[in-house]
Amino acid sequence: LDLNLVPIFENDEEFNGVLLVLQDVSAIRRLERMRSEFVANVSHELKTPLAAVKGFAETLLGGAVNDPETTRSFLQIIFDESDRLNRLIGDILELSKIEARRIPLQFSPIELPSFIAKIVELMGAEAARKHIVLIMNVEEGLFVEADEDRLRQIVMNLLANGISYTSNGGRVTITVEPVRTGQSMDQEDADYDHIRIGISDTGIGIPKKDLPRIFERFYRVDKARSRGSGGTGLGLSIVKHLVELHKGSITVESQVGVGSTFIIELPVLQE
Ligand code: ADP
């Protein structure tokens, strides 16, 4: 609460009293705090790979370049860290565009079975590399109205996480089913007014205490592991924003050592 005392003068000179102004600024303060925390996080996240690039380049310049083996391994690190910087900057820009609502969605009806099949095909190589089986479970004829590129981004992001947080030989399953919530009044006759997309893995799982926070920007359960897998910690917050732009919801269930399931529910029609 902001408290301001404003003296009141009559005819610009005679003191006439005091005006008490109370203003609830907690929402504004919270936003300001979130914004400055975000800037601090961004700087920190950018500085880490940049410091590595600089440090390894310096060591090479300082003489390590004379050893071919060291040179090769340091250059690989410099390359990987530059790549990481690139991904970070891309994700940060993407997130800020989405948050500023500078991404107009283009809704069109999407046939889910063929749409999901194409994504599974795209992710196949990545899964095969880790001997992970991708299983698709989609009822024929299901459709949803969505922004095709954004929906692809949502599903690919969750599948990529499923693959990257599951060890070799595991399983990632994507299931799409119709849901009848009765929330849309004018669709009395339709069998379903929402669709549920579940992406489930047999991976490392997420500890209970971390579950409420994984959609936060830059939040990672295990920084070292995530960084090793190339993660930026921004994927899930981008996904959540995109789901909400479709007036949908996302939830997660997980058990450490057993696996995780991310569930998205989207309205079939966007009014
Ligand atoms: P990252 O780029 O680090 O993967 P995300 O925003 O996509 O960032 O995810 C945030 C964190 O949530 C990850 O660092 C990881 O700790 C955890 N996480 C996300 N998906 C999974 C999953 N399928 N299994 C286990 N942990 C996961």
pLDDT at 15 over 90: no
**Short-list 235, 249, 136, CA closest to 195:** 249
The answer, yes or no, to whether residue 3 has pLDDT greater than 90, is no
Closest atom of ligand 1 to 259 CA is 24
What pLDDT does residue 193 have?
Answer: 93
- Whether the CB-CB separation of 1 and 24 falls below 8 Å is answered with yes
Query: How large is the average pLDDT for residues 133-142?
Result: 94
Q: Is the pLDDT of residue 228 over 80?
A: no
CB distance 239 to 160 below 8 Å: no
Helix (H) or strand (E) holding 265: strand 259-267
Angstrom distance (rounded) from CA 154 to CA 199 = 11
> How long is the chain?
271
**pLDDT digits over 51-60, tens only?**
999 999 999 9
Residue from 175, 182, 173, 112 nearest 142 by CA = 112
Residue 242's nearest CA partner among 143, 145, 151 is 151
pLDDT at 229: 61
17-26, 107-116, 130-139, 173-182: which has the minimum mean pLDDT?
17-26
- Give the per-residue pLDDT at 177: 95
Atom 8 of ligand 1: nearest residue by CA position: 233
pLDDT digits (tens, 9 = 90+) for 142-155: 999 999 999 999 99
Q: Give the position, in ligand 1's atom list, of the atom nearest the Cα of 223.
A: 14
CB within 6 Å of ligand 1 — which residues? 161-162, 165, 201, 203-206, 214, 219-222, 226, 231-236, 260
Of 201, 217, 210, 214, nearest to 258 by C-alpha is 201
pTM listed for this prediction:
0.83
Using most ligand atoms within 8 A of CB, pick from 165, 223, 252 the residue to mutate for ligand 1.
165
- Across the chain, mean pLDDT equals 90
183 CA distance to ligand 1 middle (Å): 31
Question: Is 90 exceeded by the pLDDT of residue 23?
Answer: no
Specify the pLDDT at position 232: 87
pLDDT tens for residues 182-224? Answer: 776 555 556 899 999 999 999 999 999 999 999 999 898 987 6
Residue 226 has pLDDT above 70, yes or no: no
Q: What pLDDT band is residue 35 in, cutting at 50, 70 and 90?
A: confident
Predicted confidence at residue 101, as pLDDT, reads 78
Of 119, 195, 184, nearest in space to 157 by CA = 119
- What pLDDT does 5 receive? 80
Phi, psi of 142 (to 5 degrees): -70, 140
Confidence of residue 130 (pLDDT cuts 50, 70, 90): very high
Cα(220) to centroid(ligand 1), Å? 6
Are 146 and 186 in contact by the 8 Å Cβ rule? The answer is no
Atom of ligand 1 nearest to the CA of 219: 10
CB 221 within 8 A of CB 210: yes
Residue 194 contacts by C-beta under 8 Å, 6 or more apart in sequence? 178, 179, 180, 181, 183, 265, 266, 267, 268
Residue with the bigger pLDDT between 100 and 204: it is 204
13: pLDDT confidence band, cut at 50, 70 and 90? confident
How far apart are alpha carbons 271 and 266 in whole angstroms? 13
Q: How many CB atoms lie within 10 A of CB 164?
A: 20
